Structure 1
Amino acid sequence: MPDLDDQAISKVAEVGIKSQLDEVKNLNVEIDIDPLKVITGTLNSVAIAGEGMVMKQDLRIESMEFNTGSVAVNPLSLAFGKIELTHPTEAEAIVTLTEADINRAFRSDFVRSKMQDLNLEVQVDSETAIVDTEKINFGLPGDGKVRLSTEVVLQNSQERKTVAFTAVPKISSDGQRVVLENVEYLDHQELPPAFTEAMLDEAKELLDLKNFEVGDMSLQIKRLAALKGKLILQSEAIVHQFPSS
């Protein structure tokens, strides 16, 4: 077997992860090995730190930190430039999303094509208005809440008005998604229930942990924090295989 060191194995993993991403600003993979242990198929740990990672549905992640404990691998596969797990391994992952990241996803072709089907009329100040689905905005004002807003166009005057509501992000019962609950409209204005539900459903779909999985892994949210300007998801992961290029 050729000599294998931390740097060489880390580079293999880095190339594999990059192959799963549309874009990435910075990516650093550090695999800690003990030469005596690696011969028997054990890596001490794997640490991944990424910035500006663009994944499914044009969803961008501001940062991701991923750390494992001991990892069981096939030592022969390492000799051929591949990291092949022989047993699933546990890890912790911390994902940080910014307001800009989530708004980028809301404005993606994927979401806009679905929202365009909702040509809904609403009543604003006793006047009929049309919802402008291209003006949906997602905000993180802090205090453990999110803010969703959109513009409506008054039919008679063509004046534009903003309709907004806040909601509380919570972890779904299966730990796979962030769901928005406790909706409160601002300024006594409301959208039709169908449109409100559609906006909540899109947020839930975008914040599905499957969108953040790289390679063959499963994530489960354990904690979340909705801070001013950013949303932090702390998850446990079971990794079955790391991605290979």
Structure 2
Amino acid sequence: MVQQERNLGEQAIDKVVEIAIASQLDESESLSVTVETQPIQLAQGGVDSVTIEGEGLVMKQDLRVTELQVEVKDISVNPLSAMFGKIELNGPALGTARAVLKESDINRAFNSEYISDKLRGLKVHRDGQTVTVDVKSVECKLLSEGKIALDAEVLVRETASTEKIYFTAKPQIDAGGWAISLQNVEYPENKEFSPELTAALADKAGEVLNLRNFEIEGMSLRIQKLDVEAGLLTLQAEAKVEQFPS
């Protein structure tokens, strides 16, 4: 009987949190929330762990992550609220997060309206003059040597000419884990494009790759490790939960 009550209690909280998280997503292939606790422990305000697992999650601004896993342990909650299926934290809880993005996820983000709007009307210096450029398309490739390649087509408004830009760079954790930047930019065959335009593209790439784009309400993610392999980007992060979605 106790086992049944425990399962029913956990399942009730699972479903409430799952529905709350799903309401923040534009789309999801799968999403599950698992709460581990005991009835007596819950009555005293304790929860062993909460695990969130999702695949094919599309956040706001059309940003997609192939896999997202978040696990938070040793949580102190308001026992009365928990009994009614709501996790109300008594204080912040720490955990871990893992996100996996495919090349297609990153390219989808670059071609989203949210990012595309930021790649139009860029002011860059070229040959001693300031010109206005619109980035028409960006293709990102995740390389086996741990680098990211960006292949872009840009329109220079003043000359109505279209040019191609290609460079590779190494993604690095920046600003204490709150951001990602592209460093050690390299061009093919010693062909260097406008440093300002390259910097603008690299900056937007860092914005797309930033794991904070995939934070859930009440949760912040601090990147601790990133790994780039052919076609895949994996981010490991510390998760700090101030509150679970309600």
Structure-1 residue corresponding to 2:38: 34
Contact 1:171/1:221 (8 A) holds in 2: yes
Q: CA offset at residue 122 of structure 1?
A: 7.2
> Aligned letter for 2:149?
R
Structure-1 residue corresponding to 2:47: 43
Distance in 2 of aligned mates of 1:47 and 1:243: 14
Structure-2 residue corresponding to 1:58: 62
**Segment drifting more, 211-220 vs 24-33:** 211-220
> Aligned letter for 2:213?
N
**Segment drifting more, 183-192 vs 194-203:** 183-192
> Aligned letter for 2:24?
Q
Distance in 1 of aligned mates of 2:69 and 2:198: 33
Question: What TM-score results when the alignment is normalised by the length of structure 1?
Answer: 0.87
Q: CA offset at residue 120 of structure 1?
A: 6.7
Q: CA offset at residue 160 of structure 1?
A: 7.3
Pick closer, same or farther for the CA change 1:160–1:55 going to 2, 3 Å. same
Distance in 2 of aligned mates of 1:143 and 1:67: 30
> Aligned letter for 1:5?
G
Structure-1 residue corresponding to 2:238: 236
Distance in 2 of aligned mates of 1:169 and 1:67: 25
Q: Tell me, what secondary structure is at the counterpart of 1:102?
A: helix
Q: Tell me, what secondary structure is at the counterpart of 2:175?
A: coil
Structure-2 residue corresponding to 1:94: 98
Distance in 2 of aligned mates of 1:135 and 1:39: 55
Structure-2 residue corresponding to 1:136: 138
Contact 1:135/1:151 (8 A) holds in 2: yes
Contact 2:46/2:74 (8 A) holds in 1: yes
Pick closer, same or farther for the CA change 1:120–1:238 going to 2, 3 Å. closer
Question: Which sections of structure 1, spanning at least 5 residues, go unmatched?
Answer: 124-129
Distance in 2 of aligned mates of 1:198 and 1:234: 26
Q: CA offset at residue 138 of structure 1?
A: 1.0
Percentage of pairs with the same residue: 43
Contact 1:122/1:131 (8 A) holds in 2: no
Contact 2:141/2:149 (8 A) holds in 1: yes
Contact 1:165/1:185 (8 A) holds in 2: yes
From 15, 22, 30, the counterpart of 1:18: 22
> Aligned letter for 2:51?
A
From 68, 79, 86, the counterpart of 1:82: 86
> Aligned letter for 1:144?
G
Which structure's residues are more often helix, by fraction? 2
Q: CA offset at residue 3 of structure 1?
A: 9.3
Distance in 2 of aligned mates of 1:44 and 1:166: 44
Distance in 1 of aligned mates of 2:141 and 2:81: 46
**Segment drifting more, 106-115 vs 165-174:** 106-115
**Segment drifting more, 206-215 vs 67-76:** 206-215
Question: Which sections of structure 2, spanning at least 5 residues, go unmatched?
Answer: 1-5
Please provide the CA RMSD for this pair: 2.6
